[in-house]
Amino acid sequence: MIMKLKHLTTVILSVGLLFMISCKSKPKDADIQAAVTTALQSSPGVSADVKDGVVTLSGSVASQADKDAAEAAVKLNQGVKSVVNNVTVAPPPPPPPAPVEVTADDALKTAVAGIVKDFPGIQADVKDGVIIITGEQKADRWKKLKMALDALKPKKVDASGLKVK
Amino acid sequence: MAALQDKYKELIDAAQAAGTSNLKVNELDGVLHIEGEAPTGAVKDQLWNIYGKIDPNFLTGDVVMNINVATAVAGAKLKVITESSNLNIRKGPGTDQPIVGKAAHNEIVSLISKQSDQWWLIRTDAGEEGYAYAQYLQPVE
């Protein structure tokens, strides 16, 4: 009876010891998660998932350097076995459209005069990049004129004073 | 911005669908600026027809459309598209430059180079060489 009890104690003790050892070598995922989350505070946009000591990073960052930094910050934590870096690097935003080029008034005036002289009945003025067209013109001729004027890169072609026949 | 792009959506879509390269659509002070290089003169004509359908007689003044034709490259054949008169060929790029020759209405000339969007250096079959106004020259396809 005593022998049996002794045996049982040994068994309980060894099981307990084993449990403790396994606990020590394997920090709980929740603890890793907490540490990793703190480490990721400097990496906005990245989140971590921990399972059996394996940290999976997800989210989106602006550059490869940011992605690498997040992985490095996580790796340092105790209990992290490996890191699966699923963070995506977002493509840079498209460059803003090039501003509209407007020809300077002097150059525009010369060019407009050169074109308009072939369109009798049309008067043209240039002010602040805007070509102001007045007079009368047939529709197909006006179309030709408008095509030529638009090619001069004006700010606007104001034909509100034009009568199309 | 969206209102003007909506109004001219058909035009912008057509320019994209027809393969207009370097297409730029920008708005500046209530005017939509459309720029690009059409693959052929027919595409340019098509785009101007759509523009004219949306804005009859181009009178609203809310679009400046500058579409070049990609086939107008050095060596290309150009047709003189004056209304009926001869096209002046000048010594330099400018209407103040002396006239060194003339190309007849509907005559075919060769493009040597483009000094600018407005002035192209051309050569006639008779060997006359000089600058002419690009608006009167259309690539032959």
Roughly how many angstroms between the first and final C-alpha of chain A, as a whole number?
A: 123
Q: Classify residue A135: in a domain, yes or no.
A: yes
Mean of the per-residue pLDDT values for chain A?
86
Q: Where are the beta strands (DSSP E) in B59-98?
A: 63-69, 77-80, 87-90
Task: Choose the mutation target among B28, B59, B68, B80 for the interface with A, i.e. most A CBs under 10 Å.
Answer: B59
Examine the domain organization and report whether A69 and A47 are in the same domain. yes
Examine the domain organization and report whether A121 and A86 are in the same domain. no
B94-134 pLDDT, tens digit per residue, is 888 999 999 999 999 999 998 888 899 999 999 999 999 98
Give me the half-sphere count of Cα atoms (radius 13 Å) on the Cβ side of residue B22: 11
Q: Classify residue A97: in a domain, yes or no.
A: no
Examine the domain organization and report whether A39 and A80 are in the same domain. yes
The answer, yes or no, to whether residue A9 has pLDDT greater than 80, is no
| Cα B114 from Cα B55, distance rounded (Å) | 31
Q: How high is the pLDDT of residue B73?
A: 82
Lookup: tokens for B112: 């040597």
Nearest residue of chain B to residue A141 (CA atoms): B83
Q: Classify residue A137: in a domain, yes or no.
A: yes
Nearest-neighbour CA in chain B from A50: distance (Å):
46
Examine the domain organization and report whether A35 and A76 are in the same domain. yes
Roughly how many angstroms between the first and final C-alpha of chain B, as a whole number?
A: 36
Q: Please judge whether A148 and B135 are an interchain contact, meaning their C-beta atoms are less than 8 angstroms apart.
A: yes
Q: How high is the pLDDT of residue B102?
A: 94
pLDDT bracket for residue A8 (50, 70, 90): confident
Examine the domain organization and report whether A85 and A112 are in the same domain. no
Q: Count of A–B CB contacts within 8 Å?
A: 73
Q: Classify residue A99: in a domain, yes or no.
A: no
Nearest-neighbour CA in chain B from A98: distance (Å):
8
β-strands B77-80, A130-137 pairing: unpaired
The CATH number covering residue A145 comes to 3.30.1340.30
Nearest residue of chain B to residue A144 (CA atoms): B135
Examine the domain organization and report whether A76 and A116 are in the same domain. no
> What single DSSP character describes residue B86?
P
> Which residues, 6 or more positions from B72, have their beta carbon under 8 angstroms from its beta carbon?
B78, B111, B114, B120, B134, B137, B139
B45-94 pLDDT, tens digit per residue, is 999 999 999 999 999 999 999 998 888 788 889 999 988 889 999 999 98
CB atoms within 10 A of CB B83: 11
Q: Where are the domains of chain B?
A: 2-69, 77-139
The answer, yes or no, to whether residue A142 has pLDDT greater than 90, is yes
- Residues in B lying within 8 Å of A, measured between beta carbons: 24-29, 31, 33, 48, 52, 57-59, 61, 64-66, 68, 82-83, 94-95, 117-118, 133-135
The answer, yes or no, to whether residue A68 has pLDDT greater than 90, is yes
Average pLDDT for residues A32-60, to the nearest whole number? 90
The answer, yes or no, to whether residue B1 has pLDDT greater than 60, is no
Q: Please judge whether A154 and B64 are an interchain contact, meaning their C-beta atoms are less than 8 angstroms apart.
A: yes
Examine the domain organization and report whether A114 and A152 are in the same domain. yes
A128-137 pLDDT, tens digit per residue, is 999 999 999 9
Q: Is the ipTM of this complex over 0.85?
A: no
Q: Please judge whether A146 and B58 are an interchain contact, meaning their C-beta atoms are less than 8 angstroms apart.
A: yes
The lowest-confidence range among A6-10, B14-18, B100-104 is: A6-10
Q: How high is the pLDDT of residue A3?
A: 63
Nearest residue of chain A to residue B56 (CA atoms): A139
Q: How high is the pLDDT of residue A26?
A: 62
Q: How high is the pLDDT of residue A11?
A: 72
Fold classification of B77-139 is SH3 type barrels. (2.30.30)
Task: Choose the mutation target among B34, B44, B135, B136 for the interface with A, i.e. most A CBs under 10 Å.
Answer: B135
pLDDT bracket for residue A79 (50, 70, 90): confident
The partner residue sitting opposite A155, judged by closest CB among B29, B58, B117, is B29
Q: How high is the pLDDT of residue B5?
A: 92
CATH number, domain B2-69: 3.30.1340
B50: Cα separation from own chain's centroid:
16
Nearest residue of chain B to residue A160 (CA atoms): B59
**B84 - beta bridge partners?**
none
Q: Name which of B91, B131, B127, B100 is nearest B115 in CA terms.
A: B131
Number of domains within chain A: 2
Q: How high is the pLDDT of residue A2?
A: 63
Examine the domain organization and report whether A75 and A112 are in the same domain. no
Examine the domain organization and report whether A80 and A110 are in the same domain. no
Three-state secondary structure string covering A84-144: EECCEECCCCCCCCCCCCCCCHHHHHHHHHHHHCCCCCEEEEEECCEEEEEEEECHHHHHH
Examine the domain organization and report whether A32 and A85 are in the same domain. yes
Q: Classify residue A19: in a domain, yes or no.
A: no
- Residues in A lying within 8 Å of B, measured between beta carbons: 97-100, 102, 110-111, 113-115, 117-118, 139, 141-144, 146-148, 150-160, 162, 164
Examine the domain organization and report whether A77 and A124 are in the same domain. no
The answer, yes or no, to whether residue A21 has pLDDT greater than 60, is no
| Cα A79 from Cα A87, distance rounded (Å) | 21
Q: Classify residue A98: in a domain, yes or no.
A: no
Q: How high is the pLDDT of residue A101?
A: 82
Nearest-neighbour CA in chain A from B52: distance (Å):
9
Examine the domain organization and report whether A87 and A47 are in the same domain. yes
A82-126 pLDDT, tens digit per residue, is 999 999 998 877 766 677 888 899 999 988 998 898 899 999 999
Owning domain of residue A39: 27-92
